[in-house]
Each structure stands twice: as structure tokens, then as C-alpha cells.
Amino acid sequence: MPATPGRALRPTTKVMPGQARIYNRSLVLQSLYSDGPQSRADLARVTSLTPVTIGALVSELITEGLAVELGTRSAARVGKPATLVGFDPSAAHIVSLDLSPDAVFRGAVLDLAGTILATAEIPRGGRTGQAAADAATELARDLVDRAERPVLGIGVGSPGVVDSEGVVLSAPNLAWSGMPLAEVLNQALDTPVYVANDANVAALAEHSFGGATGSGVLVLTIGLGVGAGILLDGVLVRGDRFAAGEIGHLIVEEPGLPCVCGRSGCLEAQLSPPHLRARLEGRSAAEQEEVLNQAGTGLGIALAPVISTLDLGEVVLNGPPDLVGGSLLEAATTTVRRRVLPVAGKPLVLRLSTLHENSILLGSAVLVLSSELGVS
Ligand SMILES: [Zn+2]
């Protein structure tokens, strides 16, 4: 499935003396995870740790099953050929849930390299509140049972505003307000659980598996809701109230189309696939083009100030390619370039995601990988 894992997310907390070993261990794991098999001498060089420290950490990782010895490299230099050490993605499995679709909750079992090994879904049937949390628990339990390796953790991408403890502060579609989802799942399944906003985990997926480069990346998820995840210098921007990237209800057109939030002219009213498809239906090709152009222009208007303010180098659109690609993407790109200074607009990459429908499942796995192993 996914391509080579990418660079590390930057740790957001300071390393305390007692944590040095954990930090060093994650440096070694990250290097094996993203750069592939290496000798112990290579690892010492790239991590700047001593050969003795590397030796001890590698032994520990081998004992835990996270690293394996892979034989020797053909000798390019004089002397004893070095033994290569590699990350073992089958050491454990991860369970991921994507709670963003309207009709179903989706889930998967993945290995540590982000390869999807099994998927399952459960119809939501309009369930909200505790019943929706129960449905998510049932799906997670089914997937934990299917995992053929120890489960490292459960990652969840949820719609709405989610705090750093995995409490869904507000998700109107699911009628969740202060739902302690991480705690609910943890108590039911006795496994570490990490929950984050769906658009934020989609950004993590682009970082680790989608080839997003550069230090300023915005990933816009265009689904039932429209929201962005922003990574600056390898750190996910959460914001003052955990609502960074909630740009779906920015008004981009006045007067505009009516929106579910009760106002009109919101970006979401223009962009969300159900609205967009309804407006395209029964129209001539030229009229359809006009609708897509208008939606792309609205998107460009909303994105331009964010791109300028944060000096972003890359914007990734994660939505149905038949709607979001083509004219819509072109109109958005043209609008952004017209509205920002050439220094920001010219080098900007605005593109479609290649992960699309799996991005939230993959990103939820990154939540677990980064929290439990320090790799991403
Ligand atoms: Zn709105």
C-alpha cells in the first residue's frame, strides 16, 4: 500500500534528562523506520550517538522484536562486512478508526509500516451520542480481535473539535459534546488509544505516507465537512481551542449558498461533495464548469490569507478526485496566485492527495506510531 514512511514529526516537549534514553531510542527507531536497513556504525553516524549506546539500544530493539538483523552488506570497503539492522513492521499491529463518513464508521488493522491488512465497517444507522460511541467501540473490538500481532494502540480520526486528551469537545453530526472517546475505548479494550480531529490526522498521513515535503503544509479534507490540518516545522498546529484549521465555515461569498451552520456563503456550502454534486446534476458541461470554477475560486479566496500568513509551501486537497481535481483545482490555484505575493505564490505546490479515502485511517495509525514509538 503506502509509500516509504517520511520524516519525523518534531517532538513538542523538551527532553528531560531522565527521558534521554527514550529519546535516543526513538532517534534510532526513526532512522531505521524512514531510511531503511543500516549498520550499527551508520546509525551511530546519523544519530550522533556513541557506538556503545547504539549497541545497547539496537540489542533492546531486537529483543522487543522492533528491529531485526538482516545479514551483511556486500563489502564496499576493506574489513569485516557490517551487519545490517532493519525495522520490523510486523512486530505489532495498529487498529485505526475513521469516524468521518456519514453513513458508516470505517476501520482497519495496519502493520507498523502503514500497510492496511484488513478493513471493516459498521453502519452508523443515524446513531448519535452514547450509541455512536458504542458503535465505534464495537468496530474497534472487532478489529483488535482480527489483529494477528499484539496491538500497539488504537488511533481514531473523529469529526469535530478534539482536545489533546482525546475528548471530543464538539462534533454536531454525532451529537458529541465533551465525549471522552479515548477513555471510553481504552476502558473497553485495555489498549492505548489516541483520538484527534479527522482533518488533523489526514495531515499526519500526508506527512508520513503521502510525500508531503517542506516545513509548512496544509491538508484540506473535503468531505461531509471541510477542514484543514496544518503542519509547521513538523508540528501539528492545534490552536488555542484545539480548533486550528476549522476553515469550513469561513464565508467566501456574499450573498452565498445556505449552509448547515445557519449562515450562508460558507466554504463548506460550496465545496462539500454532496452540495457540489447536487449543483452539477442535470447541468450542461459549460454550466458544470462554471460551478466548479466558482467553488475553486471560493477555495482560493479562503486559502490565500492562510498561505501568506503561515508561508506555506504545500497545500494538499483530500477529496473526491472527480470533483476536486481538474477545473476546481485550477481555479483555486489561479485565485491563490493572484492574491498572494509572487514570492509566496510562485513556489507553492497545490495538489491532490494520493491517499484519498485511506488518509484518515493512515493518519490515525501515525498518531499511535508517534505516541508509542516516537516514529512517524
Ligand atoms: Zn457554515
Residue 319 contacts residue 360 (beta carbons within 8 Å): no
> Would residue 48 count as lying in a domain?
yes
Q: d(Cα 124, Cα 135) in Å, to the nearest integer? A: 7
Give yes or no: residues 247 and 315 share one domain: yes
Residue 224 carries which DSSP code? S
Give yes or no: residues 176 and 224 share one domain: no
Beta bridge partners of 227: 221
Q: Where residue 142 sits, what CATH number does that domain have?
A: 3.30.420.40
Cell numbers placing 42: 551508520
CB atoms within 10 A of CB 120: 17
Provide Rg for the chain, Cα atoms.
22
> At residue 262, what is the residue type?
G
Q: Where residue 25 sits, what CATH number does that domain have?
A: 1.10.10.10
Q: d(Cα 307, Cα 355) in Å, to the nearest integer? A: 22
Compute the distance from residue 252 Cα to the ligand 1 centre, in Å.
Answer: 10
Q: Which residue has the cell 556503545?
A: 52
Give yes or no: residues 154 and 182 share one domain: yes
Compute the distance from residue 250 Cα to the ligand 1 centre, in Å.
Answer: 7
Output the CA torsion sign for 63, 112, 207, 99: negative
Compute the distance from residue 260 Cα to the ligand 1 centre, in Å.
Answer: 6
Compute the distance from residue 242 Cα to the ligand 1 centre, in Å.
Answer: 19
What is the chain's pLDDT, residue by residue, as a tens digit (376 residues)? 444 455 677 666 555 666 888 899 999 999 999 999 999 999 999 999 999 999 999 999 999 999 999 988 765 566 678 899 999 999 999 999 999 988 899 999 999 999 999 999 999 999 999 999 999 999 999 999 999 999 999 999 999 999 999 999 999 889 999 999 999 999 999 999 999 999 999 999 999 999 888 789 999 999 888 999 999 988 899 998 988 998 998 998 888 889 888 899 999 999 999 889 999 999 999 999 999 999 999 999 999 999 999 999 999 999 999 999 999 999 999 999 999 988 877 789 999 999 978 999 999 999 999 999 999 8
Give yes or no: residues 110 and 184 share one domain: yes
Q: d(Cα 98, Cα 81) in Å, to the nearest integer? A: 46
Assess whether the previous peptide bond of 255 is cis (omega < 30° from 0). yes
Over the range 344-360, which residues count as b (16 or more CB within 10 Å of their CB) and which as e?
A: bbeebebebbbbeebbb
- Among residues 52, 87, 122, the one where a domain terminates is 87
Give yes or no: residues 253 and 340 share one domain: yes
> Would residue 183 count as lying in a domain?
yes
* pTM confidence score: 0.89
Q: Which residue has the cell 454534486?
A: 277
Q: d(Cα 223, Cα 277) in Å, to the nearest integer? A: 12
Compute the distance from residue 226 Cα to the ligand 1 centre, in Å.
Answer: 10
> Would residue 8 count as lying in a domain?
no
DSSP annotation string for 297-309: HHHHHHHHHHHHH
Compute the distance from residue 261 Cα to the ligand 1 centre, in Å.
Answer: 4
